[in-house]
Amino acid sequence: MCSTHDTDATVPAAAGAADRFDAAVARIHFNGDGLVPAIAQDAATGEVLMMAWMNEAAVRETLATRRGVYWSRSRKGLWRKGESSGQMQHLKAFRIDCDGDTVLLLVNQQGVACHTGRRSCFFDEVNPETGDITTIMTPEIDPETLYGRRTD
């Protein structure tokens, strides 16, 4: 487990960040594309909010800034959660699983986590007996309000 509670706020994110987080990065087994699955979970409620991908730069920036930063496969660049929508994630803890092939971010989510305007990206539930899919969560905010355009 990697703790994020002792970050020195006087040290700029770029200065010394490589040295400070080398041990954590060394524990993570990035896949052939240089990515690791990252689960974001509400630190207070335990609700799973979203899954995204992180590369080494996203891991280091997340730890240094205590803000959720991911790798966007579609944009082929870093995605700082909330930079266009204002729906930021404030990191409370950063955990690495036993195999080092998945990370868990415990966050305080500002607003909604999903681009559809829902609190969580996991809003469709499958009934294992019937196979029926039920949407269990409605949007809290119109995506057009978040992004100035439709996202679905």
2 belongs to an annotated ligand binding site: no
β-bridge mates for residue 67, sequence order: 90
What span, in angstroms and rounded, lies between the C-alpha atoms of 43 and 94? 11
Amino acid at position 143, single letter: P
Task: Report if residue 123 sits inside a domain.
Answer: no
Band the pLDDT of 13: cuts 50, 70, 90. Answer: very low
Specify whether the backbone of 99 is left (phi greater than 0), alpha (psi in -120 to 50) or beta: alpha
Please tell me the chain's helix, strand, coil percentages from 3-state DSSP, rounded to the nearest 5: 15, 30, 55
Flag whether 39 is in a domain: yes
Domain membership of residue 27 (yes or no) is yes
* 10: in domain: no
Give the domain range for residue 23: 17-108
Tokens (6 digits) for 40? 């974001």
86 assigned to some structural domain: yes
User: pTM for this structure?
Assistant: 0.83
Tens-digit pLDDT profile for residues 77-117: 999 999 989 999 999 999 999 999 999 999 999 999 999 99
Does the annotation place 114 within a ligand binding site?
yes
**Euclidean distance between the first and the last CA atom of the chain, given in angstroms as a whole number:** 36
Q: Do the annotations mark residue 22 as ligand-binding?
A: no
135 has which bridge partners? Answer: 124
In a domain, 64, yes or no: yes
Residue 38 in any domain: the answer is yes
pLDDT at residue number 19: 85
Does residue 11 contact residue 25 with C-beta atoms inside 8 Å?
no
55: CATH: 3.10.20.810
pLDDT tens readout for residues 38-69: 999 999 999 999 999 999 999 999 999 999 99
Residue 141 · residue 112 · CB < 8 Å: yes
How far apart are the C-alpha atoms of 146 and 85, rounded to whole Å?
5
Residue 2 domain flag = no
pLDDT at 151: 52
Count of domains observed in the chain: 1
Q: Are 24 and 59 in contact (CB under 8 A)?
A: yes
